[in-house]
């Protein structure tokens, strides 16, 4: 559901797993605290098991309410039925079963201040079980963090296994998980002798759901 926009050119259909870096290009500014202290932790002081446990704990903690669990189960059912191939279809099917679901189509930007913002289609559900925060619905959340085998360490592959395939969560919780996964992704690229592509940076990945910020 994600599209990557390159000003003045185009990207052929297929994988965007190229080990490239633009000299002098810094990560786009975003509202996530610095992860400098976290980088050192990822480079050796914590095991893969601990990082994977963090991912699993985050995923479980924000599925605490019965309403969000029910929504997640409904998303999984619709996915198995082939009704979640795109965000517009998924939103319509969720509305059919009683959810206040909206299809969000976020465009990429060519502006200098947001040059790494990715276009992405996703679903937002409001008022789920009395929840004040809108819930982002992602039927293929894990795929946003899949990288080519030449860039993935065994540690990263094992961590990726802990990332939920389907996700229902408020933006704030997605932010927490993206921060953790992308820090490990960056280390994986570096550990295999590759540069992290700019669209794989934490801010760029998180920009997929920028429209869901409240």
Residue whose pair of structure tokens reads 């360490």 in the numeric block: 153
Q: What is the pLDDT of residue 104?
A: 93
Residue 111 lies in a domain: yes
Q: What is the pLDDT of residue 194?
A: 95
β-sheet bridge partners, residue 136: 124, 169
- State yes or no: pLDDT of 188 exceeds 90: yes
User: Is residue 61 assigned to a domain?
Assistant: yes
Neighbouring-strand partners of residue 135:
125
- In the chain, the number of structural domains is 1
Spatial contact of 192 and 151, defined as CB atoms under 8 Å apart = yes
> Residue 62: pLDDT band by 50, 70, 90 thresholds?
low
Calpha distance 92→143 (Å, rounded) = 22
What does the pLDDT look like over 64-116, one tens digit per residue?
Answer: 578 888 999 999 999 999 999 999 999 999 999 999 999 999 776 655 454 47
The pLDDT assigned to 40 comes to 42
What is the value of pTM for the model shown? 0.71
Let me know if residue 23 belongs to a domain: no
Q: Which long-range contacts (CB under 8 A, 24 or more apart) does 77-82 make?
A: 78/139, 79/139, 79/166
When pLDDT is cut at 50, 70 and 90, the band that residue 55 belongs to is low
| Residue 74: per-residue pLDDT | 96
Q: How far apart are CA 178 and CA 65, in angstroms?
A: 22
Tokens at 26, concatenated = 């810094």
Cβ contact 120:15 at 8 Å: no
Q: Is residue 17 part of a domain?
A: no
- Asked if residue 84 is part of any domain, the answer here is yes
Domain that holds residue 74: 47-212
Task: Collect all residues with Cβ–Cβ distance below 8 Å to 136 and sequence separation of at least 6.
Answer: 122, 123, 124, 167, 168, 169, 170, 171, 174, 209, 212
Q: Any bridge partners for residue 138, and if so which? A: 167
Higher pLDDT, residue 70 or 17: 70
């Amino acid at each position: 559901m994600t599209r990557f926009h390159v000003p003045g050119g185009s990207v052929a259909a297929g994988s965007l797993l190229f080990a490239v870096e633009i000299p002098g290009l810094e990560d786009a500014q975003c509202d996530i605290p610095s992860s400098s202290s976290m980088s050192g932790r990822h480079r050796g002081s914590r095991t893969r098991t601990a990082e994977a446990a963090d991912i699993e704990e985050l995923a479980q903690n924000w599925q605490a309410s019965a309403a969000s669990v029910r929504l997640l189960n409904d998303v999984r059912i619709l996915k198995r039925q082939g009704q979640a191939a795109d965000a517009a279809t998924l939103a319509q099917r969720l509305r059919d079963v009683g959810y206040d679901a909206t299809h969000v189509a976020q465009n990429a930007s060519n502006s200098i201040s947001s040059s790494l913002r990715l276009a992405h289609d996703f679903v937002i559900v409001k008022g789920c079980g009395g929840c004040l925060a809108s819930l982002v619905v992602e039927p293929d959340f894990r795929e946003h963090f899949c990288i080519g085998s030449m860039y993935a360490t065994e540690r990263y592959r094992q961590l990726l296994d802990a990332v939920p395939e389907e996700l229902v969560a408020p933006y704030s919780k997605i932010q927490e998980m993206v921060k953790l996964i992308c820090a490990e992704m960056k280390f994986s690229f570096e550990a295999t002798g590759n540069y992290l592509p700019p669209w794989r940076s934490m801010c760029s990945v998180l920009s997929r759901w920028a429209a869901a910020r409240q």
